[in-house]
């Protein structure tokens, strides 16, 4: 009933969009110019952007300038990196002071770090290296469900050749359901797979993310094409034919 396909021979396209976050934009202006000259679209902001802006611009990579924070800790930098990843920005290069760099190295930080102020040309080389690394690891696996194509290398979802701007959580939710191949997943299982922890408080958290995912997929909760709700249990992929919703109406409820 449920059909997903995958391919291991399609390479991901080169990332083209970079967001630079810096309280002192003059210190990164030359770097931005070099990046644009290298073919990247560059967006600059003075502070960590709101989720809505990240979602709208959908940058492939972020350069985050923390060089003014001389005592920035490895945990603070990792926190910013996790936030970026949660919003679908898989790669972040942090510009940090020499003292912060030394601290992070001694702490075993796994983040991409560059001492700043520094050479804009060196920053460009770092970006190129990170991009090449991302491309080499994104010899992508493509999964399809109905008219959706999921590129797990780029963590992107496409329909009719156009990318759907999903958040990281929405992407993870869709991928978890597709990997289940139509099996029903409880809210607890979904939470464990996405957040790595059991439910705390209300299970409404999963429901909210399902609702936003459906909205972006233009899915109909009453007669779902992609995500179906199973009363008292959780969610699963919708049947191959949307009309089948009429046949399962007595066993499903919707949010």
Residues 166 and 216: beta-carbon distance below 8 Å: yes
Asked whether the whole model's pTM tops 0.75, one would answer no
- At residue 41, what are phi and psi to the nearest 5 degrees? -85, 130
Taking residues 61-90, report their average pLDDT: 86
3-state SS assignment for residue 230:
strand
CA 37, chain centre distance (Å): 26
Write the DSSP string, 66-112. Answer: -TT-TT--HHHHHHHHHHHHHTT--EEEEEE-HHHHHHHHHTT--SE
Scan for tokens 């920053």, then name that residue: 123
202 or 144, which is more confident: 144
Express each pLDDT in 222-231 by its tens digit. 899 999 999 8
Which residues are within 8 A (CB) of 16 and not within 5 positions of it... i.e. 6 or more apart?
Answer: 39, 40, 41, 60
Contact status, residue 93 vs residue 63, Cβ threshold 8 Å: yes
Q: Phi first, then psi: what are they for 82, rounded to 5°?
A: -65, -40
**Tokens matching residue 240:** 């191959």
Say if residue 213's pLDDT is above 70.
yes
Which is more confident, 90 or 197? 90
> In which band, very low, low, confident or very high, does the pLDDT at 219 lie, cut at 50, 70 and 90?
very high
Q: From the CB of residue 150, how many other CB atoms can be counted at a distance below 10 Å?
A: 25
Distance CA 23, CA 102 (A): 22
Q: Kindly report, residue by residue over 157-192, the tens digit of the pLDDT.
A: 999 888 898 887 888 899 999 988 889 999 889 888
Q: Which of 13-22, 65-74, 129-138, 196-205 has the lowest mean pLDDT?
A: 196-205
In the chain, the percentage of residues whose pLDDT exceeds 70 is 81
CA dihedral 207, 211, 216, 219 (to 10 degrees): 110
Higher pLDDT, 130 or 230: 230
Residue 199 has pLDDT above 70, yes or no: no
For the segment 118-136, the average pLDDT, to the nearest whole number, is 80
Q: Given this model, what pLDDT does residue 236 score?
A: 93
If one compares 199 and 34, the residue with the highest pLDDT of the two is 34
* Listed residue (139, 194, 166, 185) closest to 51, CA to CA: 166
How does the average pLDDT of the chain come out, rounded?
80
Instruction: Considering only residues 197 and 17, tell me which one the structure prediction assigns the higher pLDDT.
Output: 17
Q: Residue 204's closest CA among 195, 191, 214?
A: 191
Residue 249 carries which DSSP code? G
- pLDDT at residue number 1: 46
What are the residue ranges of helices labelled H in the chain?
29-37, 51-57, 74-86, 98-106, 120-137, 168-179, 187-195, 204-217, 245-248
Residue % of the chain over a pLDDT of 90: 31
For 150, the 3-state DSSP assignment is strand
- Residue 253's CB is within 10 A of a number of other CB atoms, namely 11
Residue 209, pLDDT > 60, answer: yes
**Contact in structure between 239 and 181 (CB atoms under 8 Å):** no
Position 217 scores a pLDDT of 93
pLDDT band at 140 (very low <50, low <70, confident <90, very high): low
pLDDT for position 97: 92
């Amino acid at each position: 009933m449920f059909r997903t396909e995958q391919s291991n021979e399609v390479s991901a396209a080169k990332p083209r969009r970079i967001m630079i976050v810096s309280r002192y934009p003059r210190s990164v202006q030359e770097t931005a110019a070099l990046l644009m000259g290298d073919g990247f679209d560059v967006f600059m902001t003075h502070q960590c952007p709101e989720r809505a802006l990240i979602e709208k611009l959908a940058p492939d990579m972020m350069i985050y300038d923390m060089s003014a924070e001389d005592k920035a800790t490895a945990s603070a930098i990792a926190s910013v990196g996790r936030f970026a990843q949660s919003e679908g920005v898989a790669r972040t290069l942090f510009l940090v002071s020499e003292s912060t760099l030394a601290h992070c190295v001694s702490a075993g930080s796994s983040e991409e770090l560059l001492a700043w102020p520094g050479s804009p040309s060196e920053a460009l080389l770092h970006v190129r290296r990170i991009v090449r690394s991302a491309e080499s690891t994104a010899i992508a696996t493509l999964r399809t469900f109905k008219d959706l194509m999921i590129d797990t290398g780029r963590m992107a979802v496409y329909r009719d050749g156009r990318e759907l701007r999903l958040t990281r959580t929405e992407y993870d939710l869709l991928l978890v359901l597709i990997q289940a191949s139509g099996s029903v997943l409880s809210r607890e299982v979904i939470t464990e797979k996405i957040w790595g922890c059991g439910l705390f408080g209300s299970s409404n958290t999963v429901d909210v993310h399902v609702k936003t995912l459906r909205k972006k997929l233009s899915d109909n909760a009453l007669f779902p094409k992609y995500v179906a709700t199973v009363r008292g249990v959780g969610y699963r992929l919708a049947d191959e034919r949307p009309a089948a919703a009429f046949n399962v109406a007595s066993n499903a409820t919707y949010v």
